A and B are shown apart, each in its own frame.
Chain A
Amino acid sequence: MSLEQFMNEAISPWLKEEGPDSDIVMSSRIRLARNFDHIPFPILAGQEELEQVVEFFKEEYEDHSFGPYKDFEFIHMSKLNPTEKRVLVEKHLISPHLSDHAKNGATLISQNEQVSVMVNEEDHIRVQLYFPGFQLEKALEQASDFDDWLEEKINFAFDEKRGYLTSCPTNVGTGLRASVMMHLPALTMTQQMSRLIPAINQLGLVVRGIYGEGSEAIGNIFQISNQITLGKSEKDIVDDLKSVVEQLIEQERNARQQIVQQNGIQLEDKIFRSYGVLANSRIIESKEAAKCLSDVRLGIDLGYINSLSKTILNELMILTQPGFLQQYAQQNLSPDERDVRRAALIRERLNLEI
């Protein structure tokens, strides 16, 4: 298969679109946790009960559509090989927990891959809905409509006092986890993130690297999400997250301008060195690749590099993960082999642009 073909299939259709503020916010996600009211949660449910949940989803929703989310594909985890599962994890369509530990796990994925439902993860039902760029409100609205659609046929575990009941006390109430993935290279370079993260935590929000931990986020990509799910309305949760993200966007833009004005040539040098590494290396570890991709993406945003498309960071962060590299190679690869393949894939991808 050619790389172009592979990429077309590998990159979720919605991720190819450019959303609002996509120079900084890569994607917005809403996740809702729900359970059936009469069946024990997956952690304690019997094999038969979990089977019942899986069968229900297969029968009621396979090949069905809801609004723009068409032709749901139903996939049972037991039908996938390890690489296939890993690819779904790397696409963020399912969690590592569903892939590796769920007793009778399955997933329902819309054709455009914007909606995925994890079945028998920690809760019976986990709906995830993605939008490109900064579109939390829209994502919440659509996720809520989707939730209503599920509720037509499912009696959710719900209590007037505690709200939607979930297996973990950290999700009870709204069952809502709203998050954004942000690219914050300038705030990281100017060492402001280590100051900002505790301040954001104070506001009941969690900041973490998706591809690393804490302030050492690989590729300068951070996930910001709400921690509190109980006692606040869905709208308030999203509004509070939104206002912090708005401030971060502004601060990141300011930091970028500041660097350009004060150390423009140094920044330009850093960006083009990274471009050089990506375009020429024969062996590259994921950490170095992520760092260079972050630099190059910043170079595109700031106008230093005009020959590459903006989606390159999103695409290559996903495609250079182990699962995808193995799928593209159609074989299992050792870490060393992966580093070689990763370098080759990146060079090939950059060549597509010229």
Chain B
Amino acid sequence: MECQECHERPASLHFTQVVNGHKTEVYVCEKCAYDKGYMSQEQDSLSLHNLLSGLFNFDSFQLSDSKSPSASHREPQSLKCGHCGLTYDEFKRVGKFGCANCYKTFDERLNPIFRRVHSGNTIHNGKVPKRKGGQLHVQREMDQKRSELQALIHQEEFEEAAKVRDQIRTLERQLDSEQREGDQ
């Protein structure tokens, strides 16, 4: 079989592509697999692209499902990001956000999407940038220390527990003063 892209070399690779719910089989040579982006080290390209197409089908299915007159009254036809100009419909079609503000603009509709992509998760639980994170950093550290304290008390290591309790107090004061600064 010859390559479907260049019709020049023999097709040595086989890919399954799902676009808008239509499954297509693609037979290409190695060069075209690279050049046309079927194959790359970034996993976002193929497998996740498939995943995303599926996901947005799901999403549009839901939308058309709720196309009763009352529903369309409540929801504006096209939500638009005030910063980059991307509409929700465009977002659905392309599968990419246009800027950080899009996350705020489309916020209410994102949970089902994130749930599907991230195994039910919708809330970040990882690193916080040092400078920007500020209070959140302290809050996270406090939460961690509190569970540490619980464990120490449970293990009856009271000397250690006292130390951790003092650390928590210091953090509380720190958070307090930062909040007061923020209020001014």
Contact = CB atoms under 8 A, between A and B. Distances in A.
A148 B48 contact: no
A85 B12 CA distance: 23
Contact of A40 (B84, B125, B130, B136): B84
Given A97-B42, A335-B9, A322 B124 contact: no
A169 B118 CA distance: 9
Nearest to A163: B124
A216 B33 CA distance: 15
Given A44-B85, A230-B122, A231-B123, A286 B47 contact: no
Interface in A130-176: 144, 147-148, 151-152, 155-174, 176
B132 A156 contact: yes
B100 A44 contact: no
Interface stretch (A58-66, A188-196, A206-214, A302-310): A206-214
Interface string A85-100: 0100100100111001
B118 A156 contact: no
Interface stretch (A5-13, A221-229, A243-251, A276-284): A221-229
Contacts of B51: 170
A102 B83 CA distance: 22
B126 A233 contact: yes
For chain B, the bracket of interface size reads 35 or more
B52 A170 contact: yes
Contacts of B41: 89, 92, 95, 210, 223
Contacts of B94: 43
Given A95-B41, A171-B44, A231-B118, A40 B83 contact: yes
Contacts of A206: 43, 47-48
A165 B46 CA distance: 21
A100 B36 CA distance: 9
B103 A335 contact: no
A273 interface: no
Interface string B39-65: 111111111100110000000000000
Interface string B68-85: 000000000000000111
B114 to A, nearest CB: 6
A173 B118 contact: yes
Nearest to A29: B41
A16 interface: no
Given A213-B14, A223-B43, A287-B12, A232 B98 contact: no
A120 to B, nearest CB: 14
Nearest to B120: A231
B18 interface: no
Interface of B: 9, 12-15, 29-31, 34-35, 37, 39-48, 51-52, 83-86, 94-100, 103-104, 110, 113-114, 117-133, 136
Given A43-B94, A231-B118, 16 more contacts: A40-B99, A41-B98, A43-B98, A89-B40, A97-B40, A161-B123, A162-B124, A163-B127, A165-B103, A169-B113, A170-B117, A212-B39, A228-B121, A230-B117, A230-B123, A232-B121
Interface of A: 35, 37-41, 43-44, 86, 89, 92, 95-97, 100-101, 122, 144, 147-148, 151-152, 155-174, 176-177, 179, 204, 206, 208, 210-213, 216, 223, 225, 227-234, 237, 285-287, 322, 335
